[in-house]
Every structure is written in C-alpha cells, then in structure tokens.
Amino acid sequence: MINFVLLISRQGKVRLTKWYSTYSQKERTKVIRELSGVILSRGPKLCNFVEWRGYKVVYRRYASLYFCMCIDPDDNELEILEIIHHFVEILDRYFGSVCELDLIFNFHKAYYILDEILLAGELQESSKKTVARLIAAQDSLVETAKEQASSISNIIAQATK
Amino acid sequence: MNPFSSGTRLRDMIRAIRACKTAAEERAVVRKECAAIRAAISENDQDYRHRNLAKLMFIHMLGYPTHFGQMECLKLIASAGFPEKRIGYLGLMLLLDERQEVLMLVTNSLKQDLNHSNQYIVGLALCALGNICSAEMARDLAPEVERLLHGRDPNIKKKAALCSIRIIRKVPDLAENFMGPAASLLKEKHHGVLIAGVQLCTDLCKANTDALEYLRKNCTEGLVRILKDVSNSPYAPEYDIAGITDPFLHIRVLRLMRMLGQEDADSSEYMNDILAQVATKTESNKNVGNAILYECVETIMGIEATSGLRVLAINILGRFLSNRDNNIRYVALNMLMKAITVDAQAVQRHRTTILECVKDSDASIRKRALELVFLLVNDGNVKPLAKELIDYLEVSDQEFKGDLTAKICSIVEKFSQEKLWYIDQMFKVLSLAGNYVKDDVWHALIVVISNAPDLQGYSVRSLYRALQTSYEQESLVRVAVWCIGEYGEMLVNNVGVLEVEEPMTVTESDAVDAVELALKRHSSDMTTRAMSLIALLKLSSRFTPTSERIKEIVTQHKGSVALELQQRSIEFNSIIQRHQNIKWVTDLLVVNNIARHPLKILVVESMHLLLGCWCMCRSSLVERMPVLDEAAYLGKRAGSSQPTLSAEKSSKPTTSAASLKLPNGVAKPPAAPLVDLLDLSSDDAPVLPSAPNDFLNDLLGIGLPNSSSSGAAPSTTTDLLMDLLSIGTSPAQNGPSDSNVVPSSAKAAESKPAPVTAPVMDLLDGLPSNASPPRDENLVYPTITAFESSTLKIAFSFEKQPEKPQVTLISATFTNLSSSTLTNFIFQAAVPKFVQLHLDPASSSTLPANGNGTITQSLRVTNTQHGQKPLAMRVRMAYKFNDEDKLEQGQISNFPPGL
C-alpha cells in the first residue's frame, strides 16, 4: 500500500502531498523535512529507493520535481516507479507537456487527477485514456455550472435594471 | 461586497507568494490572506467560499495552520452543486485527518452523496471515504459502499472496491460482508474494476482466514484465466506499457496468487504453468518487465511451487543481481533475503556478487547487501567473509562504518571457533573502526581475554602494537589500556610468545608511556582516562622503577576538573605513597600462597591484626583482576540469543564457595566478591558469582555517574565491589563519606569496630560478622502480598536494624500461579526520589509452574525521609510465558507503616 505521495521541488518546496495512512499535521511536516533531506541529497546514478523508518520510499526525478511514494516494505518497488510514471504521463497529457508552474498554479487539478489514479493507497485505473475521460467529464460539469451561474446572474442583473 | 474578502484570485495570491523574496515577506502575505479568509468565513460569505478554500489549501501546503477552514469544507460538501462539492471534498481530504472530530460531522453528507443520482458526485464521496474514513465512519457507511459494488458503472465499482479496502483495514470484522461481491468483481472485463477487485481480494485474504479459504476455492481458476488473458493479449494501446499489456494488472494478480497458493498444494499446482509462462516469456529489458518478473519470482517463492520453477526463479534473481541497473540489483538483494529460507545453497552461489554489492557506492544497496551477507555467513565461510568485510572496513564511507562494524562484530562473535581468531579479528576491527564499536562488544572481548591465560601475552603485545598506529580509536585505546594494566609484565617480558608473533622489545617505561599518552590525549574521554589511571596504579606496583614517574603523572590529575578523575588521582596517589606497605603485604601474600590452605586463615587473620583490612584491600586492588565469568557475562548481554563463544570455552567452575568461609568464617552471598578479592592469592582463580547488572562495567572501573546503566536498581554486589576498588559512582549511592580522601591505615584500623563513619565500613558493609547485631533485636513487620495477578504472586517480608531506621531489607518471594514455567524472569522496581533502592540478583530466572518453587530476591531500601513519608514502590516483571514475552507491572502501596 502507498502510505503517502509527495512532490518536492529541487529546492525542497512541497508541491503536492497526499496521505493515505494517518499522520498528524505535526508528523507530516516532520516527515516532509526528513525525507526531502534524504532524497534531494542523493546522487543521480543511485537507485531510486530509500529505506526509511522501516518503510521504503520510491522516488523519481522529472526535471526539477521529485515524485516520491512511501510504500510498505513488501511492496513492489519497480511497480511503484511505473505508477509514478503513469501519473506523470497523465499530467503531461492533461496540461500539455507539464511543468512545475502548471502544478503550482493548478495544484487542485493535480490533486483531482491523482484522486482518479490512486484511492486508499492503491492503484485505481491503469488506463490513461479512462482517467483523461473522467477528468474531462468532471471539468465540463464544473464549466456548465459556472456558465449557468453567470447566466442566472445576468438575468437577475437585467431584471433588476 | 466585503472589502476584506477582497477579490484577489487564487492565481494572484500564488503569484504574490511566489514573488516574496524572504520568508518574512511570505509570512506577511499569508497572514493578510488568512485574515481576509477568516473575515469571509465569519461573514458566511457564499460566493467566494470555494475560492477561499482553494487558497487555504495552498497555504496549508506551505505549512501554515489552516484549521479555521475545516468547517468551510463541510459547508461546501453540503451544498448542492458539483463544483462546490468537488473542492469541498478535496479540502476535506487535504486539511483534515481521520483523528479530527469534525470528520464525524461529514458522515451524513457522505451518506447522501453515496446515494446521489450523479455518478461523479458518488465518485467524489467514495474517494473521500476511501482516503480518510475513520473506523466509526467505516462501520456507518459500509452498507452503502457494499451496495455500490453491485452497481453497473465501472467508475463507481472500482472506487467502491478500493473504498472497501479502507473499510476492511479499519474494521476487519466487516470483511465477511465483502467476500461475495469481491469474488464477483473478478469476473469483470473492465481493467480498472479488475485491478480494484483483485486488490480487494488480496486485502480480504490478509484480514480474514475464512475469506482466504472462500477465495481460494472460488477464484483460483478465474485468476489464472485473467493472468493468461492479459499476458497473451495482443497489442492493446490503451493498456500498453513498453510492449506489455497492463503490467499493473499482471502484478496484482500475481500478488493475489501468492496469497492463495501459500501453503496450499492444490491451488499452487494450478498456478505452476502460468507462472512458468510469465517467468520465461516476460521481456526483461525494461523496468516494466522486470517489475512483473520480480513479482512473479516472489510468488514462486511464496507458494508450493515445483522445484523446476524455483530454479527458474533463482536464476532470474541471479540475472537481476548482475544487472547494471541499480534498481534491479536492489530488488534482487531484497528478494534473495527471502529466497535464503527456500534455497540457501542457491543463494550461496552468488556470494561473491553480493559481497561486491556491500562495496557499492549506493547506500541503499550497501545496506541490503550487508544484511544479506549477514544471513549468508556460516561456519564454513566465516573466515573469508569476515576478512573481506574487515578489509572493506578500511576504505568504506564514514556513515557506513557504524553498520558495517556492528555486523562484523556480531558475525565474528557468533561464528568464531577459536579464541585466537576471534581476538585477532576484534583487534583488527578495533584498530580500523574502534570508534564505532559498541561498549558491550569490547566488554565481551575483555572477558574473553581474561579467560584465555595463554593468549594474554599475545593480546597485550598486539594491542600495544596496534596502539602505535591507531591512537584515535577510542575503544582500541580502552581495551589496550586495560590489558597493559593487567598484563603489563607479559608485555615487557615477552611471556607466552606465539609462533606467529614478531619479536618485540618493550621497556617498562614504554608501557607507561603508552598509558600516559592515552591519559593525556586531548580526545580521550572520561572513561578512557579513568581506565588509564587504574592501569597506571596497577603498573606502579608491577614496574617498581617507574613508580615515581607514575606518581607524578597521577599527581598531575589531582586538580582535574572532572570530579571522577580528581577523586581517583587523589586516592591512587595516597595508595602509591604507601607503596612500601603494599609491597610488604604483597610479600605476605606470597608467603600465604606458599603456606596453602590450612594456614591461610591464620595468615589472613594475623594480617587483620597487623595492618587492618584497609591496607590489605588496597594491596589486592593492584593485583590482577579476578577472571571474569564469561558465561554469566555472555548470558547477560542483551538479546543474547546468539550462542556467542560456546560455554565450554568459558571459565572453570565457580570456586568461590570454598574461599567464602575464609576471612571471618562467615559466608553470605553478597559478601562473596569482597572475599574473592581478599583471597586473590588462592591459585585457582576465583570467579565472581552470578552476574549482577553492571558488574563488568564496574570491574573495569568505568562506573562513572553518567555511564551507569543500571538505572534505578543498582545491585549491592556491584556497589560493594566498587567500594572496594574505590572507584565509587555518584556519592548518593555510597554515602557522603566515600568521597573523602582515603584515611590513613591507622585510623582505619582504629575505627574498625566502630559503626559506619569511615569508608572502611563501606568496604566491610557486606561482611555481616563485624557489623550486624544479633537478630533478635530486629523489628518485626508483617509479610505482605505485594502483587498478585493470574500468573504471578509476589510476597514481601521485611527486616530492619534498629540503629538504622531508614534502611529496610525486603526479601521478595515470587511464586508462579500459572500452569506453565516462566523463564527469563526479571524483576524491576522503581521508587520515589526520596528513596534509594539496591536490588540484589535474583536466586534464579526460571519460575516453575503451579507454585512448585519460588525465586527470591532481596532489596535494600533506604527511605531518606523516614517517618515523614511512607514507602511506595512500582514494580515491573518481565518474563517469557509459553514462549511469549510478557510484561506485568503494578504499584505497591500497602507497605506496613513505619518503613
């Protein structure tokens, strides 16, 4: 099971955190500080796994961003690397060659996407197309709701003129 | 519009924060935004609620407190529109965790949304529930989730399946309800649903054995079919990763197969074919393929696979191990650790490769490999392996040395067949990485050396040689200093030279130089210095020509800032001043030695008369230490499951019983060590009685206040011994008199019959003949039952001497009420600050069943506020009951009044 997902920038800034196991707010800050110290200092040629407090953290660097997932000791590390890549590819398709800035300004969208890929710390969907379709459908629901709202407010505005 | 809920958009806020140059600026921006959001919240602003929550989430991610926004999430979730709910649920998952009570308030909204007609809203609710639900929520909402498992929409189904996993993890009792639906999920075609379904089945198997049986019976066939379909499937662009169709599904099915096939021959047999197919046909040039192979190997190892299949699996691991990709090598090492229980021989074949991995530049790989090597060591290969590791120790990274040293030491201790080899290896480790060697390791080394008379000369010479090159290794210096102090003359006279040794000439002053250097070296810590002082004192009597010089060195430390060193130097200084006396007594002891047993009592008695016991104690102090009881020490060492240096190698049978009766014709166990020391001249080296907590520490003279690990319960035996060696720990333990300068022998002799005042009496405290008044004067207290549980009963009886009202002697009797024997029994006690407690060693650590025997242990309690405060005690008993470690504790407040 994936216990948490972390996105950390090269400078140690947190870009996304998702906790599937229970950690109090205080523990969360501590975990992030500890792990970013360990992971950011590792050389480029080393393996992508770090043993940490009896768990394993699988990380992979994409440009300036480190994608980290903390898993149980008997989970398949190589598969987690694929899950990370799966997530990145979906982000890439959604934003159109994603960059760190996309994830900063649209952090909520990154969360929506992650919620379609992982649930309860387990993989939910292996098809990128399906994820893209589900996200698009929900985005359009939001759009229509917004349009409706603005048209209603227009009507009200006109009526009260 | 409210001027505070100003219209800064989310994007603008993020920009403003990013534009901040300093942390202070950032805090200011965040503070302003938070103030605006709080204002909006208190005004119950509706229009911007979702925007404010989005801002809060960003602020939360930066690490600022955002608890005030929690209720906003609930309001958004409760609103009707999809956009509000979407951001509300996101906020709920981000800002709250399951331990917050606010979460309970959302249960009702969740229930409504789970029944919503819009599938996306149901999806949101399932997602939130699956990510953060608590046990209560799981119980409340499980029926809704179960119902959704039967629905039609694959999106809902897969989410409901994963949500069920969380529910089962929180409330394992609910597993039964999900068995049927989970099994039917495996018949689906949609990959998302299949993945979630397989995952749910795996978790059900973990949670519940009934579920495991049920799924084994109903799903094995289906699973094999799924795996067959997916691995034989033609190119499917939607699920393809590097030429493999849906590796995620592959891996999950393999994992579930492992659960089902474990210890079940029938289902294992059913899986053999497909596993062989996956293991042989999967491409291993990409990470994806390797991920599947890895999982497949693990499954083959986990189930009752055929031997051919296992060979296949081990071969795959061998290929992994020689891969150039670090990730692959890492998982190979990981997997080999599990494989070693299945086929140790096959793993041994890869020993050289694994040993290479210990020297890898990657810390994760090194760590894995080292652990694997540790498992690989056996009697046959320990020598070359230890040599390799020790060689590597020289060049390894600093941060890896700690782990490596610990592992080498434990390998060497565990597998050593001869003492010489053990001693040699330990010396190498000490000289290469002495700073990383744990205390108990070098303590054990000293015990071994003291038990190997024929190797003592060799040891002290090797250590002396090592000292010349590795002066910076603290533990090496300590062991060397101890050995030079004990066996200095063997160093100088080349006693017991082994064939392998190179000849060496060391003069007496060279030996003193070495110890002096250790004492004066800047980096030496207190323990080392204190040990050096003792060594010097011992050398002063052995190397008479250097005695003046030693006196000078010791004198220099009389002004040491460290209390411990100051006290030792002052005491030792006065001992050396009376060196003549010592010599005289030593001579006497030599006579005594010749005179043998019957005369000995007489000689000892006469010495009492002539010199008083003070002088005699001091004299025996500079003699060699009695041989340390190896078996007892090793038995005592923490987690001593390892059969370290087998018992037959350890010292001779305890001989103290005979010598016990010597000086005053009185025998009492606590007095034994004292007696032993007094009786050093007897040629069969006496052995200390059963291991009291810290005796080695204390014997080595490192009973510093800070290093005393015995905590609340130092044993009287140790105290006594420390008194003897006058290396007293904190004054609190030994009474204020102990820190005084050692009194003259005349005064000591004079004060012998008088009570307490002089430290001499501390020395003799344990000798009941002198001090203890007749029994009938003791006050009488009723015996109490201090503690009683279903397995254990403890009775306390009390004894008090009228002239010492503060001191109570308690003898505790432990009785086993259960029907099985308790082993590894340890009794611990703690008392309030105003009470001092001395705990003697227990009579045994095994307690026979049904009260067929007892353990007794005596405690000495000193209530410093006697008459003002009553005695109280907390006790803890640790023992093994039916092979399980148990711990019981209790408080004793029913002490009879007046203690």
Express as a percent the part of chain B with pLDDT over 70: 77
Separation in Å, CA of A144 to nearest CA in chain B: 10
The per-residue pLDDT for range B35-75, each reduced to its tens digit, is 888 888 888 877 788 888 889 999 998 888 888 888 888 88
Q: Report CB contact under 8 Å: A126, B367.
A: no
Amino acid in the structure at residue B592: N
| Helix segments in B101-241, DSSP class H | 107-114, 119-132, 135-149, 154-170, 175-185, 191-207, 209-232
CA dist., res. A5 & res. B835, Å (int): 52
Contact present, B728 and B722 (Cβ < 8 Å): yes
Contact A119 B159 (CB under 8 A): yes
Choose from A49, A78, A133, A148 for mutation: most chain B CBs within 10 A. Answer: A78
- Range in B84-98, B753-767, B770-784, B795-809 the model is least confident about: B753-767
Q: Looking at beta carbons, which residues of chain B come within 8 Å of A105?
A: 11, 14
Distance CA B17, CA B34 (A): 13
Q: What is the pLDDT of residues B284-341, one digit of tens each?
A: 888 899 999 999 999 998 888 888 888 888 888 888 888 888 889 888 888 888 888 7
Residues 6+ apart with CB under 8 A from B35: B4
Mark yes or no for CB contact B248/A20 under 8 Å: no
Extract the tokens encoding A34.
Answer: 């500890």
- Nearest Cα neighbor of A17 from A66, A88, A56 is A66
Task: Tokens for B245, please give them.
Answer: 């169709």
Residues of A in contact with B332 (CB under 8 A): none
Task: Report H helices in B377-470.
Answer: 382-395, 398-415, 419-433, 439-450, 456-469
Asked if residues A60 and A41 have their Cβ atoms less than 8 Å apart, the reply is: no
Token pair in block for residue B836: 């001092």
Structural contact between residues B296 and B275, judged by C-beta atoms closer than 8 angstroms: yes
* pLDDT tens digits for range B152-162: 899 999 999 99
Distance CA A76, CA B255 (A): 10
The 10s digit of each residue's pLDDT in B110-138 is 999 999 998 999 999 999 999 988 888 89
- The predicted-structure confidence for B524-558, as pLDDT tens digits, reads as follows 788 888 888 888 888 877 777 777 788 788 888 88
For the purposes of burial, counting CB atoms within 10 Å of the CB of B404, is it exposed (0-12), middle (13-18) or buried (19 or more)? buried
| B616: CB partners within 8 A, 6+ apart | B585, B607, B608, B678
- The reply to whether residue B199 touches residue A123, judged by beta carbons under 8 angstroms, is yes
CA–CA distance, B419 with B455 (Å, rounded to integer): 8
The minimum CA-CA distance between B430 and chain A, rounded to whole Å, is 28
Q: What is the pLDDT at residue B664?
A: 40
A122, A138, A144, A152, best to mutate vs chain B, most B CBs in 10 Å? A122
Kindly state the tokens that stand for B761: 């009496």
Has residue B687 got a pLDDT over 50?
no
The answer to whether the Cβ–Cβ distance between A81 and B362 falls below 8 Å is no
- Per residue in B718-733, pLDDT (tens digit) is 444 344 344 333 333 3
pLDDT at A136: 93
How far from each other are the two terminal CA atoms of chain A, in whole angstroms? Answer: 59
Residue B737 has pLDDT above 60, yes or no: no
Nearest chain B residue to A89, by CA: B241
Question: In chain B, whose CA is at the least distance from the CA of A79?
Answer: B291
Per-residue confidence (pLDDT) for residue B774, from 0 to 100 = 42
Contact B97 A83 (CB under 8 A): no
Out of A14, A22, A77, name the one closest to residue B61 (CB): A14
CB spacing of A120 vs B163 below 8 angstroms = yes
Strands B792-800 and B784-788: antiparallel
Under 8 Å CB pairs connecting chains A and B tally to 159
Give the nearest partner residue to A123 out of B195, B291, B364, using CB atoms: B195
Q: Is A9 helix (H, G, I), strand (E, B) or coil?
A: strand
ipTM comes to: 0.94
Contact residues, chain B, for A45 at CB < 8 Å: 326, 361-362
Q: How confident is the model at residue A113 (pLDDT cuts 50, 70, 90)?
A: very high
Mean pLDDT of chain B: 75
> Does residue A68 surpass a pLDDT of 90?
yes
Q: What is the dihedral of CA B751, B753, B754, B759, to 10 degrees?
A: 50
- Compute φ and ψ for B38, nearest 5 degrees: -60, -45
Does residue B33 come out as left (phi exceeding 0), alpha (psi in the -120 to 50 range) or beta? alpha
| Phi, psi (rounded to 5 degrees) for A74 | -100, 15
Q: Please write the tens of the pLDDT for every residue from B403-412.
A: 888 888 888 8
Query: What is the Cα–Cα distance from B66 to A5, expressed in whole angstroms?
Result: 20
Residues B299 and B549: their CA atoms lie apart, in Å, by 72
**Alpha-carbon span B761 to B770, nearest angstrom:** 9
Question: Distance from A142 to chain B by nearest Cα, in Å?
Answer: 5
State the pLDDT at residue A7.
94
Question: What confidence score (pLDDT) does residue B629 get?
Answer: 67
| A47/B97 Cβ within 8 A | no
The reported pLDDT for the residue numbered B364 is 84
| H/E stretch holding B888 | strand B884-892
* Dist CA B737 CA A15 (whole Å): 65
Do B10 and B50 contact (CB within 8 A), yes or no? no
Split at pLDDT 50, 70, 90, the class of B201 is: very high
Distance from CA of B251 to the nearest CA of A (A): 8
Give residue limits of the domains in chain B: 784-892
What the block records as the tokens of B676 is 């032993």
For the packed helices B135-149 and B175-185, what is the interaxial angle rounded to 10 degrees? 30
Contacts of B526 (CB under 8 A, 6+ apart): B562, B564, B565, B704, B706
Q: Are B771 and B791 in contact (CB under 8 A)?
A: no
Does A120 contact B365 at a Cβ distance shorter than 8 Å? Answer: no
**Residue B124 corresponds to which amino acid?**
L
| Number of helical (H) and strand (E) elements in chain B, helices listed first | 40, 10
Q: Which residue has the higher pLDDT, B626 or B557?
A: B557
**Residue B455 · residue B420 · CB < 8 Å:** yes
User: What is the fold of B784-892?
Assistant: Immunoglobulin-like (2.60.40)
| Local structure of residue B873 (DSSP, 8 states) | E
What is d(CA B815, CA B726) in angstroms, rounded to the nearest whole number? 38
Alpha carbon of residue B716 to chain centroid: 27
pLDDT at B734 over 70: no
When pLDDT is averaged across residues B866-886 and rounded to a whole number, the result is: 82
In order of A142, B572, B619, B725, the CA distances from B537 in angstroms are: 87, 7, 11, 12
Pair type for strands B854-863 and A65-71: unpaired
Band of pLDDT at residue B700, cut at 50, 70 and 90: very low
CA angle B887, B891, B895 (to 5 degrees): 135
Judged by DSSP in three states, B452 sits in coil
What are residue B888's phi and psi, to 5 degrees? -125, 145
Partner residue opposite B63 with nearest CB, options A29, A111, A122: A29
Report which of residues B101 and B274 the model is more confident about. Answer: B274
Listing DSSP states for A74-89 in one string gives TS-HHHHHHHHHHHHH
What DSSP character marks residue B779?
B
Q: What is the DSSP letter of B418?
A: S
Q: Regarding predicted confidence, which is higher, A85 or B44?
A: A85
- The domains found in chain A, sorted by start residue, are 1-158 (3.30.450.60)
